Structure 1
Amino acid sequence: MCNPTKLTVQIGKKIVERKIRYDSTIVDTECKLLNINEQELILFHRIEVPFTMKGTQYNLTIPRDAYTLAYYWNELPYNLYVWRDKNGSYLGSYFNIVKNTTIADAMVSFEDLIIDILIFPNGEYFILDEDELPMSLNKFEDGFAHQALQTLINSIEPLLQGILLKSEKEFSHNDIISTLYDS
């Protein structure tokens, strides 16, 4: 687990999120530190380019100037993006199934295991990208991704509700978000 006393903790500090895709390509995104403690790292990222996530029945568009609260845990096989509009209203969430999350002073990195869960504001969720796996989900990564997905699905509602309530209370368009948003 990360040791926050070894990290330079400064709200608003720039931190790179490094996503290592399954094909070994790397995507770096510059974020800003919101919080770090022994359990989690939370980053802020302002959306510059709108995008649309597609579920089986619905689409979720994240507009320009919305923001992401990104949650990372060294000990858990997933990370979470919570999207809010520029006024702080909840737009939706997205879990990545991952491995080898590493939190360092200026970077958080993780290996993406392709499978994701998209959650709409009404609570409906969809498992994404199973068709992109190089083999069946049961066999992929020796069953690790399947087990991580099942564990997450079994706890998704209380887990997400707890994080949403906490983020609403601590970060929903308060002074910290306003400062990060405008910088």
Structure 2
Amino acid sequence: MTTMMTLTMMITTLRLSIPPDKKHVLEIKETLSGERLKFCCDVVDRGQNWLVVLYIVPEEVVLDSVKIPRGTLSFGYFWEDRPYNAYHFVGSQGQTLALYCNVSDSTCIREDKIYWRDLMVDVLVFPDGTGRVLDINELPESLSVILADSILDTATTLIATRYSLLTELETKTADYL
């Protein structure tokens, strides 16, 4: 079976497992500079203060050293009470390609949209659980000390808890495949 056939079967199976009354949400990401990026996503699961969405990567991207092929399933995990969100990139055979965590704040989940502010620093977790902090040198000097400390604390916590977070999200994602 070809990789594309396997991926197509996974997407079809996933779409069949999402209730027919599934909703779409507009993910709105705002950068520190005020730029807004928007993505239309399928709601996979939701709770009182959390949301899981699916986005199918339209074009190949490279995250640091990880190649994410076109058609990769990206499960976005958002929480209103955590200072980060996470994208679990899943390959055509259901395997983890990467876990990409954005240090964030102001996450607000509504019925038809999710808003969050990207605080620039990211943590990339590889399938073997190793991790790397990204973009820490790009923080603007004009950033308040309180916000800068909060960003660094969150990145440090993500690195320290990366194995358990990877396990948590791999387990949850498996329920959606």
Shorter chain as denominator, the TM-score bin is 0.7 to 0.9
Tell me the SS of whatever aligns to 1:16: strand
Aligned length: 159
Match of 2:84 in 1: 78
The amino acid that maps onto 1:158 is: S
Pair 146,90 (structure 1): closer, same or farther in 2 beyond 3 Å: same
The residue that corresponds to 2:7 in the other structure is none
Corresponding residue for residue 53 of structure 1 = 63
Cα drift, residue 26 of structure 1:
0.2
- Corresponding position of 1:177: none
Distance in structure 1 (CA, Å) of the matches to 2:31 and 2:142 = 18
Q: Any gaps of 5 or more consecutive residues in structure 1?
A: 1-8, 173-183
In structure 1, the partner of 2:26 is: 16
Secondary structure at the aligned position of 1:64 is classed as coil
Aligned to 2:11: none
Among residues 145, 149, 169, which one is paired with 2:155 in the alignment? Answer: 149
SS in 1 for 2:32: coil
Q: Which residue of 2 aligns with 1:3?
A: none
Residue by residue over 1:105-144, the C-alpha shift from the partner in whole angstroms, topping out at 9 and shown as x without a partner, is: 1100101100000111122211000121113999361511
* TM-score normalized with structure 1 length: 0.80
Q: CA offsets per residue over residues 153-173 of structure 1, 9 Å max, x none?
A: 2222112212212222x112x
Match in the other structure for 2:39:
29
Q: Which residue of 1 aligns with 2:107?
A: 101
> Whole-Å Cα distance in 2 between the matches of residues 65 and 133 of structure 1?
31
Aligned in 2, Cα 1:99/1:107: closer, same or farther, shift over 3 Å?
same
2:176 to 171, 177, 182: 171
Residue in 1 that maps onto 2:93:
87
**1:160 corresponds to which residue?**
166
Q: Percent identity?
A: 25
Structure 2: gaps of 5 or more residues:
1-18
- Structure 1 residues 46-101: Cα deviation after superposition (integer angstroms, max 9, x where no partner): 111110011xxxx1010011110000000110000000123322211100000010
Partner of 1:178: none
Aligned-residue RMSD, C-alpha: 2.1
Amino acid at match of 1:149: A
